[in-house]
Homo-oligomer: A and B are copies of this chain.
Amino acid sequence: MPKQELLAEVIDALCCMPGVGPKSAQRIALHLFQRDRGGAENLAKALQMAVDRLGLCKKCRTLCEHELCDLCASSKRDPQVICVVESPADVWLINQATNYTGVFFVLNGRLSPLDGIGPDEIGLDKLEQQLESSQITELILATNSTVEGEATAHYIAQLALPYKVKVSRIAHGVPVGGELEFIDSTTLAHAFSGRRNIE
């Protein structure tokens, strides 16, 4: 490739995105500057503005541009129920899929001591402050069902013990539409032990 420095810089910079390697970065860069310069400018401005102004909500630690995110600022949300999730994307997913009306707490990660991610890195000190200062009635643990997610949920459950708050974990089981034949045995065991009476 000849030394087209600006273009090479763009291609390098594009590689910071997940799923984009040097080949797709080249394709994207050429597309933008051959056919959609407006899109490139738009993207540059949106990214820069977000870099400058996007922070974490003071209360729930989701990505937001104000001091409090829309959910924490809303009067329609019950501040006594907190749902703990790993990422802002989970907030959107739960809001879309359920009729949950409480607030959230976003860890922005999960406990992973080997990577140097301890309780403070995922904001558990802030969660504990909230447990201390406000009247929380329920803590719903909606971390992922991975080893780290389970460990994180367990840690938070222990953390909440002294505050005598109801702690729940989202259910494990057979996905809706799933056939038993294709479900792994651990999930099936969870589904079995977590069976509910039909009333």
Residues of B within 8 A of A91 (CB): 2
Contact A39 B24 (CB under 8 A): no
Whether A96 is near chain B, meaning CB under 8 Å from some CB there, is: yes
- A121 on the B face (CB < 8 A): no
| Interface SS of chain A | helix
Copies of this polypeptide in the complex: 2
Residues of B with C-beta under 8 A to A40: 16, 47, 50-51
Interface 1/0 per residue, A31-70 and B, CB below 8 Å = 1111011011111111111110110000000111100011
Contact A70 B13 (CB under 8 A): no
Docked-complex contact B44 and A16, CB < 8 angstroms = no
Let me know if B50 and A92 touch, CB within 8 A: no
Residues of B with C-beta under 8 A to A24: 19
Residues of A within 8 A of B (CB): 1-7, 9-10, 12-14, 16-20, 24, 26-34, 36-37, 39-51, 53-54, 62-65, 69-71, 87-89, 91-92, 95-96, 108
